[in-house]
Amino acid sequence: MSALKIAVVLGSTRPGRKGAVVADWVLAQSAGRTAARYELLDLADYPLPHLDEPVGAKVGPDLYSKDHTKAWAGKVAEYDGFVFVTPEYNHSTSGVLKNAIDFLYQEWTNKAAGLVSYGAVGGARAIEHLRGVLSELQMAHVQQQLSFSLYTDFENFSDFAPAEMHAGAAQVMFDQLESWAGALRDVRESALAPAA
């Protein structure tokens, strides 16, 4: 069976964002893993307006009407799972990440997700909000999460210097994510198989 394909989704487009160094660190921690290939998926490379599709994504991709939606859907569909890297803004995730998620439905369904956050309290509240959103999309979000504090994991609130414990937690998250992503790939493939 081919290796799983996992996207590390950089969920901030804000100038001076700290998410880029966090996402790069996550990618570095995935080096050497053989069950999955991890790559960066930066929302800055997919500039989506505020949700502008006239029909809800749950109806199906055949009704996507905008070129930016079709391009985003095609990219997301390539992956078996995701690691969402999110800041915490006002006790929640970033607007740009929520918007990008809301554009699609079937492209997320029956896939796995790991969650990484950063903020004043580690971004834990952003993760809790994302768990509810991802559940509605029928995504399996794994238990292990990574939460980086601006006070203890960034020097002078600027330079990313994560505590050593995060490296081990990242491997646990990857293990859980790859397990679920593999199982759900089987679910998706079974659904596409012709009836006997």
pLDDT tens series, the chain, 196 aa: 689 999 999 999 999 999 999 999 999 999 999 999 999 999 999 999 999 999 999 998 999 999 999 999 999 999 999 999 999 999 999 999 999 999 999 999 999 999 999 999 999 999 999 999 999 999 999 999 999 999 999 998 889 999 999 999 999 999 999 999 999 999 999 988 776 5
Output the DSSP codes for 6-72. EEEEE----TT-SHHHHHHHHHHHTTT-SSEEEEEEEGGGS---S---SS-GGG-GGG---HHHHHH
Q: What is the pLDDT of residue 1?
A: 65
Q: Which of 119, 168, 108 is nearest to 141 (CA)?
A: 108
Q: What is the pLDDT of residue 176?
A: 98
Q: For the chain, how many helices (H) and strands (E)?
A: 5, 7
CA distance 31 to 36: 10
Structural domain spans, the chain: 4-192
What dihedral angle (degrees, nearest 10) is formed by the CA atoms of 172, 173, 177, 180? 60
Q: What is the pLDDT of residue 193?
A: 72
Q: What is the pLDDT of residue 192?
A: 80
Q: What is the pLDDT of residue 97?
A: 98
Which of 161-194 are b and which e, b meaning 16 or more Cβ less than 10 Å from the residue's Cβ? ebeeebeebbeebbebbbebbbebbeeeeeeeee
Fold (topology level) of 4-192 = Rossmann fold (3.40.50)
**Element holding 124 (H helix, E strand):** helix 124-136
Q: What is the pLDDT of residue 32?
A: 94
CA distance 116 to 12: 12
pTM: 0.96
CA distance 196 to 193: 9
Q: What is the pLDDT of residue 2?
A: 87
